[in-house]
Amino acid sequence: MTNYKIYDPDTYITRDLWREVVANNDLRPVWAHIQAQKWQVSYEEYRAKCPIHCPCCNSELNYGIGRNNPNQGKNPENTPSTDHIIPRSIAPELEFGVIDNLQVICLWCNTLKNNTTFKDIPRVQGIIKLLENTQEQYEKLMLSKVLL
Ligand SMILES: [Zn+2]
């Protein structure tokens, strides 16, 4: 990821953002700027919420946009995404302008979380149990395939 040393107006939006990226060797400002505009919250508050790793799965997030991240969207566990803590489907009034309802997690975890809330914890625990059984089943099936 060395392309960000070159100013590219399509990637950086403003020279100030580019300067911030180069000065701190950190790609988060541009991404945070775009997301803050999209969700109508302040840039500073949004930027403060951008972790290095996904808080759910600990994957390292790649905040590069455009030339700085040619794989954007191809590796969902490395692609940052804005999660609405209380999903938009449940509380559409919290969709825009409420920084406290936003967090940054990876796209893969966000896809899995989808419309769930704390009320779905028992359901999610049931899914985890199912997946643990899947793992046993997987190992059994793979072993039987190897032995055939
Ligand atoms: Zn994740």
Q: Give residue 148 CA to ligand 1 midpoint distance, Å.
A: 37
Q: How far, in Å, is the centroid of ligand 1 from the Cα of 7?
A: 30
b/e per residue, 13-43, with b = 16+ CB within 10 A?
eeeebbebbeeeeebbbbbbbbbbeebebee
Name the more confident of 140 and 66: 140
Q: Do 116 and 138 form a contact (C-beta atoms < 8 A)?
A: no
Q: Where are the beta strands (DSSP E) in 29-120?
A: 80-84, 102-106
What angle is formed at CA 116 by the lines to CA 113 and CA 117, rounded to 5 degrees?
Answer: 115
In a 10 Å sphere around its CB, with 0-12 CB exposed, 13-18 middle and 19+ buried, how is residue 143 labelled? exposed
Each residue of 46-73: pLDDT tens digit? 999 999 999 999 999 988 876 666 665 5
Question: Residue 34 Cα, ligand 1 centroid: separation in angstroms?
Answer: 20
Q: How far is the CA of 56 from the centre of ligand 1 (A)?
A: 5
C-alpha 100 – ligand 1 centre gap (Å):
19
Ligand 1 center–CA 112 separation, angstroms: 9
Distance 77 CA to ligand 1 centre (A): 5
Q: What is the mean pLDDT of the chain?
A: 88
User: Does residue 134 surpass a pLDDT of 50?
Assistant: yes
Say which range, 3-17, 93-107, 127-141, has the weakest mean pLDDT.
3-17
- Give dist(CA 20, CA 10) in Å, integer: 16
* CA–centroid distance, residue 98 to ligand 1 (Å): 22
CA distances from 82 to 21, 49, 143 (A): 20, 10, 40
Cβ proximity of 46 and 102 under 8 Å:
yes
Q: What is the pLDDT of residues 1-58, one digit of tens each?
A: 445 666 676 677 788 888 888 888 888 998 999 999 999 999 999 999 999 999 999 9
CA distance readout (Å), 58 to 65, 92, 105, 146: 20, 29, 9, 33
Q: Average pLDDT in the 126-134 region?
A: 92
Residue 24 is predicted with a pLDDT of: 86
Reported as half-sphere exposure (CB side, CA atoms, 13 A), residue 31 has a value of 24
Per the confidence metrics, is the pTM higher than 0.85? Answer: no
